[in-house]
Amino acid sequence: MIDSQSLWYDEGNSARMTTRSFSEIAQASRNDVHPPGYYVVLNLWSRYLGTTEFGLRSISALLGVVCVCLIGVIVRKMYGDLAAIICFVLASLHPALVYYSQEARMYSLCVTMSVACVYFYIRIISEARIKSLVYSGYVICSVIGLYTHYVFALITFVVNFAFLLRMFINRIRNNVHVPVKAWFISHIIIFLCYLPWLSIGVNHLISWPATKALDPWTIWNILTTWKWLVLGQTVLLDDVYIGLVCYLFTVFIFVKSRKVDVIELWFLVPVLIILGSGLGTEAFEKFFIISVPAVVIAGGVGLAIMVNSHSYVFKVLGLIFCVIVISYKYLSLVNLYFNDKYSRDDYRTLVYDLEALNRDKDVVIVNAPNQMEVINYYDKGMVEFVPVANSRPLETTNEIRRLEMLADKYTRIKAVYWGDEQTDASGVIETWLNSNAFKYSETWYGQVRLIEFYVDDISDFEYLGVKMDNFILDSYGLNSKEFNPGEVVVVSLNWYTVDITSDMYKVFVHVSSSSNLPPVAQHDSYPMGGVMPTSSWSAGEMVLDRHGVYLPIDLQSGEYEVYTGMYSDDDGKRLSIDGKSEDEKILLSKIYVRSND
């Protein structure tokens, strides 16, 4: 079902737009990086289908069906029934088309308008008597497409390039002229319709803070782009080389069988421009979606040519290639639906967990303020959220002051991180929290990270002076000796090293009922949450390392022991105490956990 997965970051923005008026959508889009067309369509759609996950995504699903049907119509008109059937199947199973048909974003609308424009273009240049309805359809789809996504302008460029190419060829051959006047008038109308947004769109494109590939023409980038165009984003390149080679051969058969026309230009021009502009990165590879229908048509028609061949060998080879290509599409679709690696960020579960474990004096900070739109979609008002990192660039002094105020007011600070490289590239917020609070949990919800910190101040330390290889644990401190289930054992460790090292070690803190039993709770991390890795320590420098260990809510009452130690990040081998291989952890203290009754 299209509502089986949570809405993610961008879909939260779409959901928020359904609550706004058209003028508010236009104003919000001025401050966004996308034009308002899709949001207006979604706003109208949600008035009838609602704003549930199903309601928000259903318009994309419907458009996906229309897109596949239009591909079949185009191919049947140009290449016959067999090619249309093959292309219909390939389009229906294309993982990228399926993926974006299940997302409340503008890409399904954009690609459907792209296919529709090519369909109307083909009718315009192939039919002797063209009805005004065909031109109207072309104009309407072009305007909707341009107001949906800026990448649609590449489709407008492609069809005009194809039109001029055909006009040039026809004049050389003294054929009947293509309808230049009507075509020109159509684009004057398109231009006038888009004129109110033109300056805003240009400004968006100029000021867009996109992270671009430094060298877009590497073999790896080209291969991953081809993989995306053929099999989508939900499969690894190393797993599908055979399928990609087979499909490339079918495209070669297609190109070899005809002169360059709109399908070839539709396939190549957007891909080359997107790659050449450095936008062929993982974050923006979805822009290739506008060329996927052309890739489907080229490969599908190539397969039809092979299957229709008079050569028995070529015919059998075509059938084998069909099976291979479809099997790899199936593999990609299986990953899409059943491999968590390719699931959307799970804000639904994130908010549910925050609500279930919420306590008095808990606060949740959100590092990318626009995350609040998807969080508010699921939030029932039980948790206090505070957006941080609001400014670009980050104002360090103001953010630290805000964190200090939160630490004075709350006991637990839970941080929701997404897109750290854009919102807080230098890690100001996380560094401050690791240096001033006790991290006790880190959980991933797709690409969203939830880190939980306990705020406390430990002033009483007990001297140890225990040596582990080159490292010496000078002293430690605990926040208490008695706890309730669900509370956090706060541990401060004062380390220093005798000699500097380039090796990376992690520190563990375990709570166990006995030294020879597995821990009932633990926390492992680099010193100070990675702020002070062991490779950066100077000889004799004292490092205050903070750890929090969350005691499970169902933990049985009784006496427990708190241990600490270090292990190598490379091989997981623990350091021993004073060279004694049998001693790999230091007993810090005994604690008592009360009954949860």
Q: How far apart are CA 377 and CA 204, in angstroms?
A: 27
Is residue 287 domain-shared with residue 416, that is, in the same domain?
no
Report whether 296 contacts 91 (CB < 8 A). Answer: yes
- Among 454, 487, 505, give the residue marking a domain's end: 454
Residue 449 has pLDDT above 90, yes or no: yes
**Residues found in the chain:** 597
Indicate if 354 and 329 belong to the same structural domain: no
Residue 589 banded pLDDT, cuts 50, 70, 90: very high
Q: What is the pLDDT of residues 308-334, one digit of tens each?
A: 988 889 899 999 999 999 999 999 999
Interval 464-492 mean pLDDT: 93
Q: Is residue 205 part of a domain?
A: no
Q: Is the dihedral of CA 100, 105, 108, 111 positive or negative?
A: negative
Q: Are residues 439 and 549 in the same domain?
A: no
Same domain as 358, residue 298: no
Q: What is the mean pLDDT of the chain?
A: 91
Q: Using alpha carbons, select from 262, 253, 226, 348 the residue that is nearest to residue 307.
A: 253
**Shared domain check, 365 and 288:** no
Q: Do residues 498 and 539 lie in contact, with contact meaning Cβ atoms separated by under 8 Å?
A: yes
pLDDT digits (tens, 9 = 90+) for 516-573: 889 999 999 999 888 889 999 999 999 999 999 999 999 999 999 999 999 998 888 8
Is the pLDDT at 336 greater than 60, yes or no? yes
* Calpha distance 391→552 (Å, rounded): 37
Answer whether residue 94 shows pLDDT above 70. yes
Cβ pair 253, 304 in contact under 8 A: no
Asked which of 426, 454, 482 is the last residue of a domain, the reply is 454
Going by C-alpha positions, the residue among 333, 346, 154 that lies closest to residue 232 is 333
Sign of the dihedral through C-alpha 207, 212, 217, 222: negative
Residues 370 and 468 in one domain: no
Residue 389 to residue 424: CA distance in whole angstroms = 7
The percentage of residues in the chain with a pLDDT greater than 90, rounded to a whole number, is: 74
Omega within 30 of 0 (cis) for the link into 393: yes
Determine contact, residues 433/415, Cβ cutoff 8 Å.
yes
Is 564 inside a domain boundary?
yes
**CATH of residue 389:** 3.30.110
> Is residue 44 domain-shared with residue 28, that is, in the same domain?
yes
- Does residue 207 belong to any structural domain of this protein? no
What are the tokens at 204? 């968006």
Q: What single-letter DSSP state applies at residue 177?
A: P
Residue 572 is predicted with a pLDDT of: 86
DSSP string of 301-334? HHHHHHHT-S-HHHHHHHHHHHHHHHHHHHHHHH
Same domain for 121 and 238? yes
pLDDT at 445: 95
Structural contact between residues 533 and 501, judged by C-beta atoms closer than 8 angstroms:
no
Where is average pLDDT lowest: 25-39, 134-148, 257-271, 438-452?
Answer: 257-271
> Is 484 in the same domain as 377?
no
Number of domains in the chain: 3
Domain presence at residue 206: no
Looking at the structure, tell me whether residues 326 and 374 fall in a common domain: no
For residues 423 and 539, membership in a common domain is answered with no
Does position 172 have pLDDT exceeding 70, yes or no? no
| Residue 208 within a domain | no
* Residue among 366, 370, 336 at smallest CA distance from 351: 366
The Cα-based distances of 298 to 171, 222, 223, 252, 254 in angstroms read: 27, 18, 18, 8, 6
Question: Measured between alpha carbons, how far is 523 from 535 in angstroms, rounded to an integer?
Answer: 20
Picking from 397, 428, 454, the residue at the C-terminal end of a domain is 454
CA angle 372, 374, 375 (to 5 degrees): 60
Q: What is the DSSP letter of 277?
A: T
Residue 336 CB coordination number (10 Å): 19
Token pair 């939980």: residue: 452
**Residues 11-23 pLDDT 10s:** 999 999 999 999 9
Whether the pTM exceeds 0.95: the reply is no
214 DSSP 8-state letter = S
Q: Measured between alpha carbons, how far is 489 from 589 in angstroms, rounded to an integer? A: 11
In a domain, 3, yes or no: no
Range of the domain at 579: 462-593
pLDDT tens track for 229-248: 999 999 999 999 999 999 99
> Which DSSP symbol is given to 1?
-
Q: Within 13 A of 469's CA, how many CA atoms are on the CB side? A: 17
* Domain annotation covers residue 248: yes
Q: Are residues 274 and 353 in the same domain?
A: no
Q: Which one-letter amino acid corresponds to residue 312?
A: Y
Residue 2 resides in a domain: no
Q: Looking at residue 492, which CATH number applies to its domain? A: 2.60.40.770
For residues 220 and 421, the model is more confident at 220
